[in-house]
Structure 1
Amino acid sequence: MMPGVAWLLVLLLLALLVAALHSWQRAPARSKIPRAQKRRVEALQRMEALARRLREQEPSLDPRPILELPLDRLVQKLWDEELSLESVLCSYLEEALTVHQEVNCLTDFLDECEEQLQALKKLKKTERGLLYGVPISLKDPFNCKGHDSTCGLAQFLEKPAAKDGVIVKVLKAQGAIPFVKTNIPQTLFSSECSNPIYGQTLNPLRLKKSPGGSSGGEGVLLAQGGSILGMGTDTGGSIRIPASFCGVCGLRTTGYRLSYSGVASAIKGQKSVTTVAGPMARDVESLVLCLRALLSEDMHRLDPTVPFMPFREEIYSSNQPLRIGYCESDGFTQPSPSMARAMRLTSRLLQDAGHQVIPFSIPRIEYAVKHLFVGGLFADGGATLLEKLEGDIVDPCMKTMINQLRLPDLLKCFLAWILKYIEPRASQNLEEMRGVRTPKKLWEQHSAVEEYRQEFIARWRSLDLDVLLTPAVDPAFDVGYSGKASDSFSYLHLYNILNFPIGVVRVTSVTPQDEEDLAFYKGYYGDSSDTYFREALQGSVGLPVAVQCIALPWEEELCLRFMKEVETLVKNHREPEL
């Protein structure tokens, strides 16, 4: 046999062995996933059964008036006993099931909500919390005793939480009734909302569109009225993207203002990029009420690493004019026509209301989003993420990233060199995905993040700003595009490096003119990411467009005050009908 042929046979055998090994490794996933899917079916059947039992107590119940109540009025009616706890829970159980049938957003039903309802009925009025009787939805990774927190990973299945996480405990102490968990992308490291266990969640506003991620299930459930208040998490926009794509409000809090104890994660230990928990709702006042409830003594008592900082009413209720930084573009991603128009509209409304709007530019944006964000996220070369996927089926929304991480370092380096002049941002991604490689380099990376944060704050202080206004990323992408156009999320990634509180508020909708102008979109780099961004946004007339309201660390109250100002001005401004 010729030596060349022999080598080919050896390589073929090796390839077959590798394929067989991967098939064997996936076997545990294949055995766990059908069982998890069956458990979800059974859980939702129990949810339907509870809804039926509650409805039998009030056969004439009309859920519409209940579902239309804003959170503050709902709480007041529950406190005054104008509404029963049963009627409110029944209304949201039924509506959540209806929404799920359309868009596939639920992963689990929290059976204990019925027992909690009965316990709340026994409380004296003086013992009722700020969220008394409010049904609340939770993103999948929030630990609830006896339930899996899967992060969309087979490896995390059949490992129910031994106890509630801190945030869940505080919400329950304040009278909230967690009743469902919602869908996420596999590993949470995606702006889509799909995983091999529970499948793809769709955007109810247009079913070919993504709801965003990773808190996508929360976004759609809130947008369609199946929940009135939810909790999400945010590593690179995971609260803000779904809020923007689905037309609801979301708040990314300062890291460590809320406890992260008892929230599952595919990656623990990375420090450069701050992952946080935060509320999502249909309006700003609901976010405020949730934060008032969360920032209680219970939060600090249950997790002493969280500072005891009660909600500062005097900051939120102030009516002093604001000095607002205005940043229509970050210089890295050209805003879409609707993003730019939303910024100009909001700026004009703010100025007409007596606020000062001052131009602001982002320092060293490419360095921040590539070297600090991507480099910080994959400081270990993706080893931890790949470890969590061992034996699992890789979801389509994750395949591009995972395939890149699995490349040998030499090949990453070679491809980065080839792409340097034709796809510079893709080249930088591959370079940063190699990881920092030594403890010394990791410390240097941490130092670089802190230096950049101080540089950003210095520019902010030099203009004597109170808050900052920037675009969100919208409208919603077509399903499957978030990974292809990931560079466009620079507007969101930056603030997880800075660790600033930041909220999303809807201000307008995509117009036919926005759609026409999109045809001429080129982007700043003219690369594949810019092309995919344009393609992802097509067919979006009528979909929501939001802005981001930003404050300095620990200034959630000021951030919310700014969000409320924007929300109020937009509500009082009548745009022409589409």
Structure 2
Amino acid sequence: MAASLLSALLCCSAATLLWLKWRRLRRLRRQTEEAQRGREGALGRMEKAARRFQEQNPSHQPESILSLTLPELCRKLRDGLLSPESVLYTYMDKALKVNKDVNCVTDYLEDSESQLLQVKSQGKKGLLYGVPISIKDSIDCKGFVSTLGLVKRLNHPAVADAVVVQVLKHQGAIPFVKTNVPQSLLSYDCSNLIFGQTVHPLDHTKTPGGSSGGEGALIKSGGSILGIGTDIGGSIRIPAGFCGICGFKTTGNRISKKGMVPSIRGQKSVAAGLGPMARDVESLAICLRALLCEEMFRLDPTVPPLPFNEQVYSSSQHLRIGYYVTDSFIMPSPSMKRAVLETKELLEKAGHVLVPFKPFRIEYFVYNICVRGLFIDGCATYLESLSVKELWKLHSEIEEYRQEFIAEWKKLQLDVMLCPALTPAFKMGFPGKFSMGAIYTLLYNYLDFPAGVVPVTTVTKEDEEELKSHRGHYNDIWDKIFVKAVKGAVGLPVAVQCAALPWQEELCLRFMKEVEKLSSEKGRMH
């Protein structure tokens, strides 16, 4: 009797658990479907607004606007040669077309139209007057959801704009769309259960990178002229490199992070940074000029009041540049290595001094710092195993490593660093199989150095042939996965990474601009 009663209770409990799980999954599916319908509705309203403008202005020429660089666009808007309406609705229409191709837009910021009227009524024209800007999903915009690709964050709209969004609006910019990210942000792919997979604009079998992957795909395809991303391990630099645009992360606290939703609250081991993404370096500099203003310092007093240093950015003095082609842990792809060596040669011909640099104790950095801090184990160690004592020890080790790195930099009297950027774009699904690929970018988050990427070349048939004999440093399973991830990429962009010491954003951008200029001149000669 007792045995049969126990059996009945166990069956009942199991049935109850299954029923509860079914209910939860049903609720999650319903929330996801509602969010998807909400997005379709928002994009439908965006399309109606763009169409209405076109019908009211039949002689409107969108291509003449889309072909402008950001400096040219800013100048024409400021001089009254273009109206903010014509620019906003042009980029709305283009973003919709791009989204149908690569699935990168998650929401339409409908208050952009009222923001347009506000911008026009302002007496003083800000540095980004009338410029439409795209915003990464994880940056708060009042009244809209920062999902991080997580169903649990749906139905919790932001109560205020992030400080960076407030400052952009203060400078006359018009945020108009939010863009896709991987679930939880802790990936350099760009897919989640709510909005699906964003694909690479040049090859739909490839990922655009992440976590600012929606930004990378949208900007590369011409659907946005300037975007704002976040970077805690390469989340700006990897998608910028994969897609073939420029991306820049600042020193952790140079730009306010108030209103940036982190993947792990309270995480202090590695510094996240915000930054711009655009088609060229000058556009990045324009954005930084606009952000580093009194309004940001007023809104967030924890940010050091350091305005943009024009003298450093516009300097033409020759630089002393450290460089390396491998971190001695992840062997670069043939195109990554070639990109660095060709750029080194161009810089030397231009009169700069190039100094070999060897990243030291890299295995120690990977296994003792990255694994315990944020990275390879998907944060399980950080969340579950680290005691307070161990966490303090980790922070001490990070600071010691950082000071060693800076000491070697100073010993060699370096201004800036040239090194590989993780490229070309990976095949879909491979970022999850090869998380170690982010080591090249993650290093500069732990060091908390400003860093950016500049596209300098494309994968050649010779690179692809050389890849067949690629063995890596260890010839292990990870090296084999890396080869599978990057193969079949002829014609896709390849970038280099540029870095500087903390708070030297302007010097880093000045170096990036030099790399861009020399690479562009070489391209024109060929």
Residue 66 of structure 1, CA deviation:
0.5
CA drift at 1:13: 9.9
1:391-431: CA deviation from partner (whole Å, max 9, x where unpaired): xxxxxxxxxx59xx5xxxxxxxxxxxxxxxxxxxxxxxxxx
User: Of 282, 287, 298, which aligns to 1:285?
Assistant: 282
CA offsets per residue over residues 354-374 of structure 1, 9 Å max, x none? Answer: 000000011111221232123
CA RMSD of aligned residues (A): 2.2
Shift in Å, 1:24: 4.3
TM-superposition CA deviations, 1:468-490 (whole Å, max 9, x none): 00000010000000011221221
Distance 1:349 1:20, change over 3 A: farther
Q: C-alpha separation between the residues in 2 aligned to 1:19 and 1:332? A: 46
Could you tell me how far 1:115 is from its partner in structure 2?
0.6
Shift of 1:25: 3.9
2:187–2:435: 8 Å Cα contact kept in structure 1?
no
CA–CA separation in structure 2 for the residues paired with 1:331 and 1:9: 61
Compared with structure 1, are the counterparts of its residues 269 and 433 closer, same or farther at alpha carbon in structure 2 (3 Å cutoff)?
A: closer
Task: Pick closer, same or farther for the CA change 1:508–1:376 going to 2, 3 Å.
Answer: same
Partner amino acid for 2:510? R
Q: 1:190 to 1:568 in 2, by over 3 A?
A: same
In structure 1, C-alpha distance between the alignment counterparts of 2:155 and 2:446, rounded to whole Å: 34
Question: Do the aligned partners of residues 114 and 353 (structure 1) sit closer, same or farther apart at CA in structure 2, a change above 3 Å counting?
Answer: same
2:66 aligns to what? 67
Residue in structure 2 matched with residue 395 of structure 1 by the alignment: none
Match of 2:519 in 1: 570
d(CA) in 2 for partners of 1:516, 1:575: 26
Q: Which moved more, 1:476-485 or 1:17-26?
A: 17-26
Give SS of 1:191's match: coil
In structure 1, runs of 5+ residues without a counterpart are 383-400, 406-431
Unaligned runs of 5+ in 2: none
Q: Deviations over 1:436-471 (max 9, x none)?
A: 431111110111111110010011011000000000
Q: Are the counterparts in 2 of residues 369 and 493 from structure 1 also a CA contact under 8 Å?
A: no
Q: Hey, what's the Cα distance between the residues in 1 that align with 2:360 and 2:334? A: 23
Alignment equivalent of 2:433, drawn from 471, 479, 484: 484
Q: CA shift at 1:123, angstroms?
A: 2.3
User: Structure 1 counterpart of 2:66, which letter?
Assistant: L
Specify the SS of the correspondent of 1:574. helix
How far has the Cα of 1:26 moved from its partner?
3.2
What residue is the counterpart of 2:370 in the other structure? 373
Return closer, same or farther for 1:550/1:14 CA change in 2, 3 Å cut-off.
Answer: farther
Structure 2 partner of 1:356: 353
Q: Aligned AA for 1:325? A: G
CA distance in 2, matches of 1:14, 1:527: 47
SS at match of 1:69: coil
d(CA) in 2 for partners of 1:238, 1:331: 22
Q: Secondary structure at the match of 1:96?
A: helix
Q: How many residues align?
A: 522
Note closer, same or farther for the CA distance 1:520–1:325 as it changes in structure 2 (3 Å cut): same
C-alpha separation in 2, matches of 1:478 and 1:16: 42
- Match of residue 559 from structure 1: 508
Kept after mapping to 1: 8 A contact 2:125/2:172: yes
Equivalence for 1:40: 39
Pairing 1:107–2:115 present: no
1:504-523 pair list within 5 angstroms:
504-523=453-472
Which residue pairs with 1:168 in the alignment?
A: 165
Contact 2:245 2:279 in 1 (8 A): yes
Q: Distance in 2 between matches of 1:9 and 1:66?
A: 72
Structure 1 residues 15 and 550 mapped into 2: Cα distance closer, same or farther (>3 Å)? Answer: farther
Partner residue, 1:411? none
Q: What is the letter of the counterpart of residue 514 of structure 1?
A: D
1:319 to 283, 294, 316: 316
Structure 2 residue identity aligned to 1:448: E
1:330 to 315, 327, 330: 327
CA contact (8 A) 1:378 1:433 kept: no
Aligned to 1:473: 422
| Aligned residue type for 1:37 | Q
Match of 2:83 in 1: 84
- Mapped to 2, the partners of 1:360 and 1:327 lie a distance apart of 6
2:484 maps to 535
Alignment check: 8 A CA contact 1:342 1:545 kept: yes
Task: Give, as a single letter, the amino acid of the residue that structure 1 aligns with 2:211.
Answer: S
Query: How big is the shift at 1:493?
Result: 1.1
Matched, 1:440 2:386: no
Aligned partner of 1:199 in structure 2 is: 196
Inter-partner Cα distance in structure 1 for 2:493 and 2:410: 32
Tell me, yes or no, if structure 1 residue 236 matches structure 2 residue 236. Answer: no
1:140-179 map, 5 Å: 140-179=137-176
Report deviation, 1:73: 0.7
Distance 2:221 2:275 in 1: 20
Cα distance change, pair 17–490 in 1 and its aligned pair in 2 (3 A): farther
Contact 2:373–2:382 at 8 Å: present in 1 too? no
- What percent identity do the matched residue pairs reach? 55
**CA displacement, residues 218-256 of structure 1 (integer Å, 9 cap, x when unaligned):** 001000100000000001100001000000000010001
Cα-to-partner distance string for 1:243-301 (whole Å, 9 max, x where unaligned): 00000000010001000001112311011111111100000000000000000001110
Q: Judge conservation of contact 1:255–1:276 (CA < 8 Å) in 2.
A: yes
**Which of 499, 505, 510 matches 1:550?**
499
Measured at CA, do residues 57 and 458 of structure 1 come closer, stay the same or move farther in structure 2, by a change above 3 Å?
Answer: same
Cα distance in structure 1, aligned partners of 2:176 and 2:230? 18
What is the CA–CA distance in structure 2 between the aligned matches of 1:468 and 1:19, rounded to whole Å? 56
> How does 1:397-436 map onto structure 2 within 5 Å?
405=380, 436=385
Aligned partners of 1:543 and 1:14: how far apart in 2? 55
Would the alpha carbon gap of residues 278 and 12 (structure 1) be closer, same or farther in structure 2, given more than 3 Å must change? Answer: farther
What is residue 115 of structure 2 aligned with on the other side? 116
Say if 1:140 and 1:261 are closer, same or farther in 2 by CA, change over 3 A. Answer: same
Q: Is the 1:272–1:373 contact (alpha carbons within 8 Å) kept by the matching residues of 2? A: no
Distance 1:17 1:374 in 2: 39
- Residues 203-214 of structure 1 aligned to structure 2 (within 5 Å): 203-214=200-211
8 Å CA contact 1:252–1:278 kept in 2: the answer is yes
CA distance in 1, matches of 2:9, 2:484: 44
1-side partners of 2:497 and 2:519: how far apart? 14
Match of 2:126 among 125, 129, 147: 129
In structure 1, distance between residues paired with 2:193 and 2:304: 38
